[in-house]
Amino acid sequence: MINEERVILMTRLQSYEDHEGKHNVAIANYFRSDYLGRQILRSIICATLVTVMLFAGYILYDFENFMKDIYQVDLMAFARHILIVYLVFVGIFAVITYIVYAYRYTKAKKSLRQYFNRLKKLNQMYNKE
Amino acid sequence: MTQLLLTKEYLKNFIGKYEIYLKPLGKFLLALFALSMINSRTGYMSRLDNGSIVLVAALFCSFMPTNFIVVISMVFVVAHFYALSLEAAIVIGMLFMVMALLYFRFAPKDTLVVLLMPMLFVLKIPYVLPICVGLYGIPSSAVAIACGVVAYYAMHYVVANEADLSAMDAEELSARFRHVVDGVLNNRTMLVVMVTFMITVVLVYTIRRLSINRSWTIAIVAGTVVQMLVLLMGDLMLDTDVSVPGILIGSILAVLIAKVMEFLFFNVDYSRTEHVQFEDDEYYYYVKAVPKITVAKPEKTVKKINSASQQRRRREHPAGNFNEV
């Protein structure tokens, strides 16, 4: 005879595995430090690309003056200034990434813990029969 | 009211039953609508401004992830602007890339807002999106709304200045680039609308989450009123060119659409609210439970009036069986 409670539980578990669970399992496959390190690395790459694009835009915006002044400005000081701006930007972006993904990792782990508890409950139902 | 609830139940059942077909159909229609709108508003590249290309792209979008519609729409926009002016394409392309790399990397689910916002601006009802996002989203979705507003006004600037941009062929690339960047960034209307919509999202979200009766309705009305007031104040202070009748009509439409959404997704009966209190080893729980309004779908029973007699006749017939007329 069909155990209605068990079918409901199994349906919920399958639904979780197909939707939210798929994403959470992918997160939980990593150690916390590896997961955060990977996300921060990706953020640094994104921030670097954005900086390069914005720098190119900045040069293009004032191209005549930039070319006119290029031999008069202290190139080392200019490069240092750009580097500091880049590092600050990347630093802020990395901190935001750390906060967001640390929260997501904790949430995914918690959600998976609930999922495993339900799996245990299902197993107990089978053992009872 | 009961009829409306019944319709809602039928709708839910219908969507549940045919979800596998309705999802690709929805994506196809959204892509078709978005790409046709882009072509009709811009349409500078004649090769892309073609019904069959739009149809093929929309069909392709129907079995791809939803965010692909946004990507293909961005490609269409940049390609059209490239045909008009290289600098416009660079600026708009850079803008899209910055949005994708800085924000949508964190919240890929919000990407659709960037597509919907310009579409609703064209349909003259942009005021509905901040309210809906506040009702169904999270406060950080306000950034997605801001990206949508920037995307619309940037594209709007290029389209509005197409004559200037195409006439600047003789000038330096740098001067043309500067012209587009200045035009896009020094737009006070964009700034006012962006700030207003962000405030609306956060306000609607905050009120909607309060444990008060009719929180959704209060959030919708308060969000709409604040949105109107901030837009009008911004218009007075910064002399932006927003249309006052447009704001009023758009806001009324926004309330109506948000109320329909509320009926579909948050229909509860406050008169049957229950307050319960209990405890376990670690916590005391003060729970407020508000029941959803539901109606049972009427069961259709098919009664076969002459089935018994027909079976008897079938048994008694010498041939054992006969064709029914």
Range of the domain at A37: 4-128
Average pLDDT over residues A72-90: 89
Average pLDDT over residues B299-308: 71
The answer to whether A43 contacts B178, with C-beta atoms less than 8 Å apart, is: no
The answer to whether A64 contacts B174, with C-beta atoms less than 8 Å apart, is: yes
- Which comes out higher in pLDDT, residue B39 or B315? B39
Which chain B residues touch A97 with a CB distance below 8 Å?
106
pLDDT for B322 beyond 50 = no
- Out of B91, B102, B172, closest to residue A50 by CB: B102
- Which comes out higher in pLDDT, residue A93 or B265? A93
Q: List pLDDT tens digits, range B155-211.
A: 998 888 888 777 766 567 777 888 888 888 888 889 999 999 999 999 999 998 888
Average pLDDT over residues B76-94: 89
- Which comes out higher in pLDDT, residue B48 or A93? A93
Average pLDDT value for chain B: 84
The answer to whether B101 contacts A50, with C-beta atoms less than 8 Å apart, is: yes
The answer to whether B101 contacts A60, with C-beta atoms less than 8 Å apart, is: no
pLDDT for B86 beyond 60 = yes
- Dihedral, CA of residue B102, residue B104, residue B106 and residue B109, to nearest 10: 170
In chain A, which among 83-122 make CB contacts under 8 A with chain B? 93, 97, 100
Cα–Cα distance for residue pair B207/B215, rounded to 1 Å? 6
Q: What is the count of structural domains for chain A? A: 1
Cα–Cα distance for residue pair B75/B42, rounded to 1 Å? 13
Q: What is the pLDDT of residue B325?
A: 38
Under 8 Å between Cβ of B76 and B89 = no
pLDDT class of B323 with cuts at 50, 70, 90 = very low
Which chain A residues touch B177 with a CB distance below 8 Å?
57, 60-61
Q: What is the pLDDT of residue B7?
A: 82
pLDDT for B304 beyond 50 = yes
pLDDT for B144 beyond 50 = yes
Q: How far is A54 from chain B (nearest CA, A)?
A: 8
Cα–Cα distance for residue pair B61/B115, rounded to 1 Å? 14
The answer to whether B106 contacts A100, with C-beta atoms less than 8 Å apart, is: yes
Average pLDDT over residues B58-66: 90
Which chain A residues touch B173 with a CB distance below 8 Å?
60, 63
Cα–Cα distance for residue pair B255/B221, rounded to 1 Å? 7
Q: Does A26 touch chain B (CB under 8 A)?
A: no
Neighbours of B80 (CB within 10 A): 25
The answer to whether B102 contacts A47, with C-beta atoms less than 8 Å apart, is: yes
Closest C-alpha among B293, B301, B325, B307 to residue B8? B293
The answer to whether B102 contacts A54, with C-beta atoms less than 8 Å apart, is: no
pTM for this prediction: 0.80
In chain B, which among 97-116 make CB contacts under 8 A with chain A? 97-98, 101-102, 105-106
Q: How far is CA A69 from the centre of its chain?
A: 41
Q: What is the pLDDT of residue B290?
A: 82
Q: Which of A36, A50, A64, A69 to mutate to test the interface with B (most CBs of B within 10 A)?
A: A50
Average pLDDT over residues B276-294: 78
pLDDT class of B310 with cuts at 50, 70, 90 = low
Which chain A residues touch B101 with a CB distance below 8 Å?
46-47, 49-50
Q: Does A61 touch chain B (CB under 8 A)?
A: yes
Average pLDDT over residues A1-11: 77
